[in-house]
Amino acid sequence: MNELVFVGLGLNDEYGITLKGLEEAKTANTIFMETYTSHMPNFNLQHLEKLCNKKIHVITRQTLEEENGKQILQAAKEGKTIFFVPGDPFIATTHVTLRIDAIKLGIPTRIIHGISIMSAIVSFSGLHNYKFGKTVTIPFPETPAETPYNVIVQNKKVGLHTLCLLDLKESENRYLTINQALKTLQMMEAQKQQNCLTLNTAVVGIARVGNDCPVLKAGFIKDVIDFDFGPPPYSLIFLGDMHFMEVDALIAFADAPNEFRRLST
């Protein structure tokens, strides 16, 4: 049957896919994959091809955008076509247009979800999911933006945590570090003077969630800014009001300083 199945690869490596995702791939006529919407540090393409028993066509951002997904749509008109996407296929909205285009062409589409860094970070942190406000991406310093700072300030005003994704340029092997992200935000604080981001602001730095050796470090900015998180990918959480159970979790899992006890509500 002709169809386009978006399959999430999950985190870190080719073992992040679900059994369901792999089963679907085994019966596909054609498999495409992109590697640019997020970073899977230990991913091995040849091994995934072996697991699927199929050739996987890696497609670049440039190709996909220039030709509006023509290769993929053509294959999906002719037979069962899989599009492998790191994480979950639609948490980055990059591929929503491709799905809309397929539907307009009468091609049936399905989604096999993958683990997204969005939920994995919340889970790994031990924080309470319903205490997070709006999420934001912190860009590289050469493209500074006020939005991340404003979102952090707004969430904090109503007591909520802010999950910050840190920008990456996968094609250049470039990842915004936690140190750089904090410095960018400090510069914004110096401009805006909301007194919302000081050396005593409570944060959690996260590296390599989903990997065999992830790192979680909670502390005040002064403790975290020079902490060595090792290789990418990185994320950052600005803490809002904390339930005492959240503080317990950060002390147990994230080496939070004991001063965090007085932050709980």
Of 115 and 182, nearer to a copy of itself (C-beta) is 115
Stretch that binds a copy of itself, among 32-40, 95-103, 166-174, 190-198 (CB under 8 A): 95-103
Stretch that binds a copy of itself, among 59-67, 173-181, 189-197, 242-250 (CB under 8 A): 242-250
Contacts with a copy of itself by CB under 8 A: the residue count is 58
Q: Is 45 in the site for a copy of itself (CB under 8 A)?
A: no
| Of residues 165-224, those binding a copy of itself (CB under 8 A) | 209-210
DSSP 217: E
Q: Is 89 in the site for a copy of itself (CB under 8 A)?
A: yes
Q: Of 230, 164, 174, nearest to 197 (Cα)?
A: 164
Stretch that binds a copy of itself, among 31-39, 59-67, 68-76, 92-100 (CB under 8 A): 92-100
Q: How far is the CB of 248 from a copy of itself (least distance, A)?
A: 6
Of 71 and 137, nearer to a copy of itself (C-beta) is 137
Of 121 and 182, nearer to a copy of itself (C-beta) is 121
5 token code pair: 């199945």
Order across the sheet with 30-33: list the strands. Answer: 56-58, 30-33, 80-85, 3-8, 109-112
Among the residues of 193-243, which ranges form H helices?
Answer: 221-224
Query: Exposure of 4 by Cβ count < 10 A (0-12 exposed, 13-18 middle, 19+ buried)?
Result: buried
Of 52 and 178, nearer to a copy of itself (C-beta) is 52
Q: How far is the CB of 110 from a copy of itself (least distance, A)?
A: 8
Q: Is 130 in the site for a copy of itself (CB under 8 A)?
A: yes
Q: How far is the CB of 118 from a copy of itself (least distance, A)?
A: 5
Q: Is 69 in the site for a copy of itself (CB under 8 A)?
A: no
Per the CB < 8 A criterion, the answer to whether 216 and 252 are in contact is no
- For residue 224, give every residue at least 6 positions away whose Cβ sits within 8 Å of its Cβ, in sequence order, or none: 178, 182, 203, 204, 205, 217, 218
Compute CA distances 23 → 20, 26, 27, 34, 82, whole Å: 5, 5, 7, 19, 11
- CA quadruple 122, 128, 134, 138: dihedral sign: negative
- CA quadruple 142, 202, 254, 114: dihedral sign: negative
Choosing from 44, 97, 200, 265, the residue that interacts with a copy of itself (CB under 8 A) is: 97
Q: How far is the CB of 204 from a copy of itself (least distance, A)?
A: 14
Interface with a copy of itself (CB under 8 A): 8, 10-11, 13-20, 22-23, 51, 88-93, 96-97, 99-100, 103-104, 111, 113-116, 118-120, 122-124, 126, 128-137, 154, 158, 160, 209-210, 245, 248-249, 252-253
